[in-house]
């Protein structure tokens, strides 16, 4: 290699990196320190995550142990309640029956429980953060780079500290999925509120609105299309992340996909993948239709 070095001094040829010994020391110190820290606080961490753990287990058990017919009926009623569309309800029924017929009912239930919890958590976290970011430019400047990191850092990378801190299981899975799914909620909430017509906002101000009244009467309702897109994106990202989360011990369809990758089970991989797609479409259509129903003033135009 040195022969191709245009007869330059060594320092200009090879990047003067830290030597391997030092790097090894740095790694060992950081990793070791981190591990010790986690070990010292492990009781505290376990105690803090216990409620979430219990909640997740209970929810999963409820989904899997309830007779399938009841789950199916409840699901269809929920889809009807949010969309009021027989087409979407029919599609949901067909998709769920096909999934069950392929023997994936239980895995699907596990995944559904997981995705529901993750979506709810992401919305509960993302909405207030988005509102705060929309209210102050300084906060937005603070939040944006964090979101950039969350969205571009490969999920495998932040799975490592999550596993070190929380171990293997559902809780680290939920945390990993929420980290992945919350940025669009925050971004779209922020954007939606910032895009609200400034004249309408001025009108709210002129009639003496308090900041809270402005938020509830004007900003959130007018930002609703963006908020619904945010919820929708969060659901989609949760669903795509449950496959990766299966590497840290989350069960369900994701685990099957992981097994299929490891063993090159072509059919199994695709069946489970399509089951995920089916759930995604059901969620997507139902939440979109719900969003449209909330904005019924947009559909009516004068003729």
> Could you tell me which of 98, 99, 76, 71 has the C-alpha nearest to residue 88?
76
d(CA 123, CA 23): 40
Verify binding: residue 137, other proteins, rule CB under 8 A. Answer: no
Q: How far is CA 117 from CA 53, 124, 177, 213, in A?
A: 11, 11, 10, 30
Cβ nearer to other proteins, comparing 33 with 211: 211
Find the binder of other proteins among 171, 218, 248, 275 (CB under 8 A): 218
Q: Which of these, 171, 176, 63, 189, lies nearest to 123 by C-alpha position?
A: 189
Q: Does residue 298 bind other proteins (CB under 8 A)?
A: yes
Site mask, other proteins, residues 237-276, x = CB under 8 A?
----------------------------------------
Q: Considering only residues 175-204, where is the footprint of other proteins by CB under 8 A?
A: 197, 199-200, 202-204
**Closest to 185 (Cα-Cα) out of 242, 226, 155, 153:** 226
Sole binder of other proteins in the list 85, 209, 240, 259 (CB under 8 A)? 209
Minimum separation from the CB atom of position 192 to other proteins (A): 13
Residue 135 has which token pair?
């209210």
In whole angstroms, what is the distance from residue 127 CA to residue 290 CA? 18
Q: Is 136 in the site for other proteins (CB under 8 A)?
A: no
- 212 is a contact residue toward other proteins (CB under 8 A): no
Q: What are phi and psi of 112, to 5 degrees?
A: -60, -45
Contact status: 25 vs other proteins (CB under 8 A): no
Query: Residues interacting with other proteins, by CB under 8 A?
Result: 197, 199-200, 202-210, 213, 217-218, 221-222, 224, 295, 297-298, 300-302
């Amino acid at each position: 290699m040195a022969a191709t070095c245009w007869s330059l001094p060594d320092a200009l040829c090879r990047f003067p990196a830290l030597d391997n010994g030092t790097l090894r020391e740095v790694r060992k110190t950081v990793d070791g320190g981190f591990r010790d820290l986690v070990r010292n606080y492990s009781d505290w961490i376990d105690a803090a995550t216990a409620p979430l753990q219990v909640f997740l287990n209970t929810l999963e058990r409820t989904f899997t142990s309830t007779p399938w017919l009841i789950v199916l009926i409840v699901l269809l009623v929920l889809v009807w309640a949010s969309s009021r569309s027989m087409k979407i309800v029919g599609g949901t029924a067909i998709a769920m029956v096909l999934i069950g017929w392929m023997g994936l009912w239980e895995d699907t239930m596990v995944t559904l429980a997981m995705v529901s919890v993750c979506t709810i958590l992401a919305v509960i976290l993302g909405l207030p953060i988005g509102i705060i970011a929309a209210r102050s430019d300084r906060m937005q400047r603070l939040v944006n780079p964090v979101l950039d990191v969350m969205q571009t850092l490969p999920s495998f990378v932040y799975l490592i500290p999550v596993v070190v801190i929380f171990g293997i299981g559902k809780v680290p899975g939920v945390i990993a999925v929420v980290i992945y799914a919350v940025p669009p909620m925050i971004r779209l909430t922020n954007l939606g509120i910032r895009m609200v017509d400034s004249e309408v906002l001025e009108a709210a101000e002129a009639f003496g609105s308090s900041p809270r009244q402005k938020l509830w009467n004007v900003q959130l309702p007018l930002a609703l299309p963006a908020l619904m897109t945010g919820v929708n994106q969060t659901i989609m990202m949760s669903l795509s992340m449950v496959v990766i989360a299966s590497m840290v011990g989350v069960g369900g369809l994701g685990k099957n996909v992981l097994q299929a990758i490891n063993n090159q089970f072509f059919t199994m991989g695709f069946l489970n993948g399509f089951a995920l797609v089916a759930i995604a479409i059901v969620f997507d259509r139902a939440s979109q239709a719900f969003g449209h129903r909330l904005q019924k003033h947009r559909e009516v135009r004068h003729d």
